[in-house]
Amino acid sequence: MTKPISVPGTYKRLEQHPASVSDIFSSMVDGTIESVDIMIFILVLGGLIGVVKASGAFESGLAALSTKTKGKEFILVFLVTVLLALGGTLCGIEEEAGAFYPILAPVFIATGYDSIVCVGDIFLTSSLGTTFSVINPFSVVIASNAAGTTFTQGMAGRIFGLVIAVTCLLFYLHWYARKVQQNPQFSYSYDDRDKFDQMWGMTTSEEKDQRFTLKKKIILILFACAFPIMIWGVMAKGWAFPNMASAFLTIAIIIMFLTCFGHQEGLGEYKTTTAFSDGAASLVGVSLIIGLARGINKVLNDGYISDTILYASSKMVAHMNGSFFIIVMMLVFFVLGFIVPSSSGLAVLAMPILAPLADTVHIPRHTVVTAYQFGQYAMLFLVPTGLVMATLQMLDMRYSHWLRFVWPVVVFVLIFGGGLLVTEVLIAG
């Protein structure tokens, strides 16, 4: 999980080594072959998540939580915030959080909250957890691998940042939710309030069994145990992606057996294996992006283009202060987040070029990985594509209303994240 380190002062001009058309196309296949360990890990993780979702453990757990906190709805907001932030930081749960809208939206409406609170507590919370990822395989693990470092480096700083960021988001949600309860016209989405209430306010009996049974509790416990096992394996045993994939696959198989059998809750062999296949299939696009991005890097490396870019860039940053450099990196990733909205794709595409620049200014490469997380995800809160627009469309909510609510969070991430990065640089120096 390490990469070669550039040695300052060793750059030499060589004969041009241009890539032919056939080299460019074959590099896509070669890059996929080189990335197969990462791709298998992602597919296995997708299958694991798919089986857990099919078991109904996620929804049943949240439904039980909403029942327990009836009459104390902000406690529900607090617990959902903590749980989804953990989901984001551990395994990048973002799209999967969409399953919670049908459960939570009616509860929030009955309490007097609006669509902003609903999106803020589900989408924004899970995304903020991903922004301050501790071990998220889709961002920090892949980015660390591409940067030539391990995801365990800088973990303490990311944990500290996660705690502070989630705490601040809770205060922000509490302030906004209380204002809306006291005066519904304060709502940023007040113009669409009736439409939102009509769409989500009526609760109907669902066919899916929402009972939070012992089996579902065991499934969630097994799923949660997968991530501490991964951390232990990397830190104590030096695991790479094949080892992590094997551990996740073992847990997935155990959960599949639990999900498959049972008089009332059992899904049967076909539905269980289909759930695993569908979960893996949902991440095929992510896996292919990683392979294709690695192919692009292969063309750059074989043609000595990466070395030239690194040399020219190192000249630009050679006299930069480390603190200033890392802030610039965060802003660069902020812009790149608009161009390349895929977190894993951007990590594999940009990290091999940008991370070695940290060696030039004598700061750890893992700080560039953290800058990538803060910069890209701050943009993904705003960019009107992908998950943001899918979420807003699901709730029939205007982008302008969302923008009014989320821009302070973006500013906070950039300022607070920048402060954390500078602190890491100063400590490392």
Taking the CA atoms of the chain, what radius of gyration do you get in angstroms?
23
- Report helix, strand or coil for 140: helix
d(CA 188, CA 184) in angstroms, rounded, equals 9
pTM above 0.95, yes or no: no
Residue 204's pLDDT is what? 45
Query: What is the distance of C-alpha 395 from the center of its chain?
Result: 22
Residue from 335, 327, 331, 329 nearest 383 by CA: 335
Alpha helices by DSSP H, listed for 6-100, are: 21-34, 36-55, 57-68, 73-91
d(CA 74, CA 80) in angstroms, rounded, equals 10
Residue 2's pLDDT is what? 46
- Output the DSSP codes for 77-138: HHHHHHHHHHHHHHH--SGGGGGGHHHHHHHHHHHT--HHHHHIIIIIHHHHHHHT-SS-II
Residuewise pLDDT in 10s, the chain (429 residues): 445 555 556 667 777 777 777 877 888 888 888 888 888 988 998 899 889 888 888 778 877 877 777 667 678 888 889 988 988 888 777 766 766 776 677 777 777 788 898 889 988 998 999 999 888 888 898 899 888 888 889 899 999 999 999 999 999 999 999 898 889 889 888 888 777 777 665 444 444 556 788 888 999 899 888 878 887 887 788 788 889 899 999 999 999 999 888 666 678 888 899 999 998 998 888 788 778 877 877 777 777 776 676 667 667 766 788 999 999 999 989 988 887 777 887 888 788 888 888 888 889 999 999 999 999 999 989 887 667 877 787 777 888 999 999 999 999 999 999 999 999 999 987
SS3 content of the chain, % helix, strand, coil (to 5): 75, 0, 25
Distances (CA, A) of 25 to 20, 30, 287, 350: 9, 9, 18, 20
Distances (CA, A) of 403 to 265, 302, 407: 42, 43, 6
Query: What is the distance of C-alpha 291 from the center of its chain?
Result: 19
CB atoms within 10 A of CB 25: 12
Contacts of 343 (CB under 8 A, 6+ apart): 92, 130, 138, 139, 376, 377, 380
CB atoms within 10 A of CB 278: 15
- Report helix, strand or coil for 238: coil
Are 374 and 409 spatial neighbours (Cβ–Cβ below 8 Å)?
no
Residue 159's pLDDT is what? 94
Residue 405's pLDDT is what? 94
CB atoms within 10 A of CB 200: 21
Residue 403's pLDDT is what? 92
DSSP state of 141: I
